[in-house]
């Protein structure tokens, strides 16, 4: 049986067969529709699991190039020495056991009119509804000199991939000379995981505090402020003394060019900063599959209907996760998970007869680890508004501010809750 066999043909072949019943969790009695999901991350895996549980009569196919998934969340804890790569690597076997047809291949081209996706192998998949959760692309050379080759010297570690980027960053950290300088280049909004760079700074400092206490961290930022800033800056002062220097755009923090050969970051005003190792988080846009399909606008991100996540540029394609424009929602794993489920109800409403969720509440919590037993968070719910999406007023927000002497218990609890979040949400994707 080759991959050329479409879902419809496959369904026809096995629907009347008792063999289907022998497969645990699989019910392909009536394929009332074919849901194709591209991308097996926080959006796509969540969509696949949710669809499989709640729409047993719809066939669900997931296309993802990686044979296991390395999460970006908790990647920073590898830098801090609190997790190993295996702790943040997840198998697709759980989704397979639920009856998701997981295909490890790269989706190459979307034919929106023909409702058809061509894979890198040349195989073609037909769909009735497409959930596209492709994640981000990195804008190579948006920072002059920062291309894919440069990322082998200055890792970005801003997608999970096969784990090699975060592992490289960890190895560089371990090899940092005594009293060495770690440089970070942090992009302007919008980008994946707004608090992520600052958790990363914290976890690098957490490692250096023990292994290399005279080292310095220079964090160059293209912005004037950042997520959970007060909480992070308080934590840095409490835990790491003067190890961390954060340089905002107005302080010449915008990095315009890098020179990996000479280990230099060059700022907007031409200042050359010599670093012993560098983490460059470049500007981003929607992954190429979405842009190539003509779904993105001039910003590089994909405009969608805020109720259904159907792309404005194509019907029957619902774009979720970091690739879409969901402002003011952050590009976070939790938002990808939350909106995935709404998008599935919208995509399958017609063929399942079950109504879409027409007054959705989108949900986000982002935990960050700022140190040992030191968790902080931001939470929000979002609803439809006249001009798109709005945060629910008088709710959500960040952890209580305060000195560690008074807040130790809260910080410790939030660190434990962060760990529980990670275990829960990855179960909600992969179990």
Task: Write down the residue that tokens 């998008």 correspond to.
Answer: 343
CB of 45 to other proteins, least distance (A): 12
CB of 57 to other proteins, least distance (A): 5
Nearest in space to 380 (alpha carbons), one of 395, 399, 400 = 395
CB of 150 to other proteins, least distance (A): 35
Could you tell me how many residues make up the chain?
A: 431
Q: Is 61 left (phi over 0), alpha (psi -120 to 50) or beta?
A: beta
Smaller CB distance to other proteins: residue 34 or 216? 34
Instruction: Report whether 307 contacts 343 (CB < 8 A).
Output: no
CB of 224 to other proteins, least distance (A): 25
CB of 387 to other proteins, least distance (A): 20
User: Bridge partners of 69?
Assistant: 90
d(CA 268, CA 252): 6
Rounded to 5 degrees, what are φ and ψ at 350? -65, -45
Smaller CB distance to other proteins: residue 112 or 390? 390
Smaller CB distance to other proteins: residue 173 or 415? 415
CB of 415 to other proteins, least distance (A): 10
CB of 426 to other proteins, least distance (A): 9
Smaller CB distance to other proteins: residue 22 or 269? 22
CB of 405 to other proteins, least distance (A): 17
Smaller CB distance to other proteins: residue 10 or 417? 417
Q: What angle (nearest 5°) sits at the alpha carbon of residue 62, between those of residues 106 and 74?
A: 85
Binding site for other proteins (CB under 8 A): 16, 18, 21, 27, 29-30, 49-50, 53-57, 334, 337-338, 341-342, 345, 354, 357, 359-363, 365, 377, 379-381, 392, 394-397, 399, 410, 413-414, 416-417, 419-421, 423-425, 427-428, 431
Nearest in space to 379 (alpha carbons), one of 227, 259, 243 = 227
Q: Rounded to the nearest 10 degrees, how much is the dihedral formed by the CA atoms of 325, 329, 330, 334?
A: -110
User: Bridge partners of 365?
Assistant: 379
Task: Write down the residue that tokens 């560098």 correspond to.
Answer: 278
Smaller CB distance to other proteins: residue 50 or 191? 50
Q: Rounded to the nearest 10 degrees, how much is the dihedral formed by the CA atoms of 253, 257, 260, 265?
A: -20
To which H or E segment does residue 90 belong? strand 89-91
Task: Write down the residue that tokens 């006249």 correspond to.
Answer: 386
Task: Give burial (CB, 10 Å; 0-12/13-18/19+) of 178.
Answer: exposed
Smaller CB distance to other proteins: residue 284 or 364? 364
Smaller CB distance to other proteins: residue 308 or 338? 338
């Amino acid at each position: 049986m080759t991959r050329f066999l479409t879902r419809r043909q496959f369904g026809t072949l096995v629907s009347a067969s008792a063999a289907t019943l022998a497969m645990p969790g699989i019910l392909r009695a009536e394929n009332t529709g074919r849901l194709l999901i591209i991308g097996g991350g926080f959006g796509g895996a969540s969509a696949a699991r949710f669809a499989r549980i709640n729409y047993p009569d719809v066939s669900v196919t997931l296309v993802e190039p990686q044979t296991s998934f390395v999460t970006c969340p908790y990647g920073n804890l590898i830098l801090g020495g609190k997790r190993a790569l295996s702790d943040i690597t997840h198998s697709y076997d759980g989704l397979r056991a639920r009856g998701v047809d997981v295909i490890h291949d790269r989706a190459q081209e979307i034919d929106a009119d023909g409702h058809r996706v061509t894979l890198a192998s040349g195989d073609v998949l037909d769909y009735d509804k497409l959930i596209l959760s492709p994640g981000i692309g990195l804008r190579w050379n948006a920072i002059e000199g920062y291309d894919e080759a440069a990322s082998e010297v200055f890792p970005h570690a801003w997608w999970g991939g096969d784990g090699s980027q975060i592992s490289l960053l960890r190895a560089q950290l371990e090899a940092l000379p005594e009293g060495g300088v770690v440089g970070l280049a942090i992009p302007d909004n919008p980008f994946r995981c707004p608090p992520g760079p600052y958790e990363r700074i914290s976890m690098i400092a957490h490692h250096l505090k023990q292994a290399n206490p005279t080292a310095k961290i220079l964090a160059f930022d293209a912005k004037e402020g950042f997520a959970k800033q007060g909480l992070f800056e308080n934590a840095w002062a409490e835990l790491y003394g003067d190890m961390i220097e954060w340089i905002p755009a107005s302080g010449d923090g915008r990095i315009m060019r890098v020179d990996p050969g000479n280990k230099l970051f060059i700022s907007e005003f031409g200042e050359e900063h010599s670093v012993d190792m560098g983490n460059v988080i470049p500007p981003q846009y929607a992954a190429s599959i979405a842009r190539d399909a003509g779904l993105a606008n001039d910003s590089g991100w994909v405009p969608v209907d805020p109720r259904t996540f159907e792309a404005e540029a194509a019907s029957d394609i619902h774009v979720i996760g970091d690739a879409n424009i969901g402002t003011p929602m952050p590009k976070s794993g939790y938002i990808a998970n939350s909106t995935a489920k709404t998008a599935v109800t919208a995509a399958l409403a017609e063929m399942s007869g079950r109504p879409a969720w027409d007054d959705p509440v989108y949900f986000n919590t982002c935990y960050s680890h700022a140190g040992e037993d030191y968790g902080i968070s931001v939470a929000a719910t979002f609803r439809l508004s006249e001009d798109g999406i709005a945060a629910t007023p008088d709710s959500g927000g960040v952890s209580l501010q305060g000195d560690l002497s008074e807040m130790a218990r809260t910080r410790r609890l939030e660190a434990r809750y962060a760990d529980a979040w990670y275990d829960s949400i990855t179960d909600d994707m992969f179990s």
